[in-house]
Amino acid sequence: MHDVERDRFVAASPREIERRLSPRALLAWEGSFEATTVTEDGDATLVTATGPGISFRLRFEELADGYRYEQVGDGPFERMETRVTVTAEDEGSRVRARSRVSLALPVPLADRLGAWKRGGELDRLLDGLEGAV
């Protein structure tokens, strides 16, 4: 399991940013998968993510300061969980994306490769969010 973290100052208030956050938006900003179905499940939102030759589910929980999501069931990861938080800073906000990832592949260094790819997805997520506000 590898940890990946990215953060960025965004010149918008936490409230402005939080209005843009949603499971569908977060997944779209990451850029690797598309949300094909979104269903509510109590306090969580279940999203079916699809990409070339793959489909899996993510469980999103809205938090007071952002979102937490993880893969549920079978998918490309042995385990993947991500937390996106927004805190006030100066005249804007600090947006932090932290992910723990382990790939479901019997290949040496697979988790490092997964962390590298996940880092790129988190960079795109922050780019997308910044562009949306």
Q: What is the pLDDT of residues 61-92, one digit of tens each?
A: 999 999 999 999 988 888 899 999 999 999 99
C-alpha span between 73 and 58 (Å, rounded) = 9
Domain count along the chain: 1
- Among 121, 123, 127, smallest CA distance to 31 is for 121
Please list, residue by residue across 47-60, b when 16 or more beta carbons sit within 10 angstroms of its beta carbon and e when fewer do.
Answer: bebeeeeeebbbbb
CA 81 to chain CA centroid, nearest Å: 8
> 34: burial class by Cβ within 10 Å (0-12, 13-18, 19+)?
middle
Look at residue 107 in the predicted model and tell me its pLDDT: 67
Domain containing residue 106: CATH number? 3.30.530.20
Give yes or no for residue 111 having a pLDDT over 80: no
Degrees (nearest 5) of the Cα angle 44, 48, 54?
145
| 32's tokens | 């690797």
Look at residue 50 in the predicted model and tell me its pLDDT: 94
Look at residue 116 in the predicted model and tell me its pLDDT: 84
Q: Which residues on neighbouring strands pair with residue 60, listed in sequence order? A: 45, 69
The whole domain housing 106 covers 2-131
